[in-house]
Amino acid sequence: MVREWDPRTASSAEISSLLDCLNQVFRTDLPGDPLWRPNYLREYLTETMPGSRRVCWLAEEPAADGSPRIVGHVNVLLIGDIGVLEVLVHPEVRRTGLGRQLLALAVRRAYHEGFSSVGVEVIGGTSAIEFYGSLGFDREFREIRSVLRLSTVDWAAIDKMAGDAEPGYRVEFFPGGPPDELIDAYAQAKAEQRVLEEAGELDLRPSSYEPERLRESLDCLHRRGMKPYIVLAIHAATGEVAGLTEVVVPAQHPTRADQYDTIVVRAHRGRGIDRAIKARMLLELRSAEPELAEVQTWNAEGNETMLRVNSEIGFQPDRDWWDCGADIATLLRRLEAKG
């Protein structure tokens, strides 16, 4: 049975069953990744930024004891001018048409709400590559996921690297997010990311650049159980944020953190800021998050500077990660033609 589902009002048994399905997918597609915990899972699915909405569906079948067991899930985040998809199908019921059925529901909803395109993150080396390719999704942007295992870090080298920024910069750590008096300067530095958007690349994890939008983004992370940590390099003479790096530790998998943006403003590049801020972050996380064992990050394959810095720190390339997109009307015709 497939039905639309609201995690806000879902029973604890449904949330637990969804968690089991999610972890079975991880065991198959991402062996070695930490399994998710129930902590803040409901909030992870329901909390969104102002102006965006998430719509969800479930697929269930009877378990051995007769109770319903979730074997598939799809949600579409309606944000800006694109619908961002997530599709989970339990490994035991793959290649039965369930993934296509779930996808069709989400695509049809986005189409009827006036959206013209959808996007999805596709993990390299999994069956999802073939699935989305067969439906006409275009691979628009490739990233490389890398993982740093803290047990392998050369902490003496990291401590030295944290002090490598040229004189004239303060490197400061802000658990939970920067203070309000730095939000404007923080937003200005993050505006450098607009270069990616101007290049026309598909962006399924959009950053916030306006001060108020940044406040809302940080608040949303907290509501979803995802604790942000920020390190800023501040130019002492001007007070400008010359560089920043962001790491989020999710309650759902607190042993592995997610690296978000790392940005060095153009006028301040070549001064050791990128290494200093990332090294300072690791030093702070070691004491702030004693359960943390790994950090994962994603970099565009052409971002040679950051890939080199990450390699020096100890990150190891892990998998390709593709942002894929499709025109909704064309995709819907294909899905309906395939039944």
Q: What is the pLDDT along the chain (339 residues), one digit of tens a residue?
A: 999 999 999 999 999 999 999 999 999 999 999 999 999 999 999 999 999 999 999 999 998 898 899 999 999 999 988 999 999 999 999 999 999 999 999 999 999 999 999 999 999 999 999 999 999 999 999 999 999 999 999 999 999 999 999 999 999 999 999 999 999 999 999 987 665 445 545 555 555 678 999 999 999 999 999 999 999 999 999 999 999 999 999 999 999 999 999 999 999 999 999 999 999 999 999 999 999 999 999 998 888 888 999 999 999 999 999 999 999 999 999 998 866
Strands, E assignment, 124-225: 138-149, 169-175
- Give the count of beta carbons closer than 10 Å to the beta carbon of residue 183: 18
Please state whether beta strands 169-175 and 138-149 pair in parallel, antiparallel, or not at all (unpaired). Answer: unpaired
CA dihedral for 77, 96, 28, 316, sign (positive or negative): negative
Question: What are the structure tokens assigned to 292, written together?
Answer: 């943390």
Give the C-alpha separation, 91 to 221, whole Å.
30
Give the C-alpha separation, 331 to 111, whole Å.
10
Residue 67, Ramachandran bin (φ over 0: left; ψ between -120 and 50: alpha; else beta): beta
The fourth-level CATH superfamily of domain 154-313 is: Gcn5-related N-acetyltransferase (GNAT) (3.40.630.30)
- Give the count of beta carbons closer than 10 Å to the beta carbon of residue 163: 12
Give the C-alpha separation, 72 to 74, whole Å.
7
The pLDDT of residue 204 is: 56
User: How far does Cα 80 stand from its chain's mean position?
Assistant: 17
Strands of the sheet with 68-79, listed across from one edge: 2-5, 53-62, 68-79, 82-89, 117-123, 316-327, 138-149, 294-300, 256-264, 241-250, 226-235, 169-175
**Which H helix or E strand runs over 241?**
strand 241-250
User: Among residues 195, 196, 281, 187, which one has the least CA distance to residue 240?
Assistant: 187
Give the C-alpha separation, 163 to 159, whole Å.
7
N-terminal to C-terminal alpha carbon distance within the chain: 17
The pLDDT of residue 196 is: 46
Residue 289 phi, psi dihedral angles, 5° rounding: -130, 80
The pLDDT of residue 304 is: 87
User: Among residues 83, 79, 139, 198, which one has the least CA distance to residue 321?
Assistant: 139
The full DSSP string for 12-37 is: HHHHHHHHHHHHHHHHHHSTTSPPP-
Whole-prediction pTM value? 0.93
List all residues 6 or more positions away from 108 whose beta carbon is below 8 Å from its beta carbon: 332
- What is the domain class of 2-144+323-337 according to CATH? alpha beta
List all residues 6 or more positions away from 181 whose beta carbon is below 8 Å from its beta carbon: none
Q: Domain boundaries in the chain? A: 2-144+323-337, 154-313
